[in-house]
Amino acid sequence: MKKILVLCTGNSCRSQIAEGYLRFFANGRAIIYSAGIETHGVNPKAIATMAEDGIDISMHTSNNINEYRNIDFDLVITVCDNAKEACPYFPNKAAQFHHNFPDPAKATGTEDEIKQMFREVRQQIKIYCETFIKEHFN
Residues tagged active-site = 8, 80, 87
Mean pLDDT score of the chain: 93
CA distance to 28, 52, 59, 89, per residue, from 47 (Å): 21, 9, 9, 30
Count the residues in the chain: 138
Burial class (CB in 10 A: 0-12, 13-18, 19+), 136: middle
For 65, the domain range is 2-137
Segment 73-118, tens digit of pLDDT:
999 999 988 777 776 656 568 899 999 999 999 999 999 999 999 9
pLDDT at position 26: 98
CA distance 76 to 33: 9
Q: Is the pLDDT of residue 122 over 80?
A: yes
Q: Could you give the percent of the chain with pLDDT greater than 70?
A: 95
Domain harbouring 81, CATH code:
3.40.50.2300
Q: Could you read off the pLDDT of 60-73 as tens digits, one per residue?
A: 999 999 999 889 99
Residue 130 backbone phi and psi in degrees, to 5: -60, -45
**Closest residue by Cα to residue 17 from 136, 129, 110, 114:** 129
Number of domains in the chain: 1
Q: Confidence class of residue 45 from pLDDT cuts 50, 70 and 90?
A: very high
pLDDT > 80? residue 10: yes
The model scores a pTM over 0.85:
yes
Q: How far apart are CA 101 and CA 122, in angstroms?
A: 9
Q: Where are the strands (E) in the chain, listed by range?
A: 2-8, 30-36, 75-78, 95-98
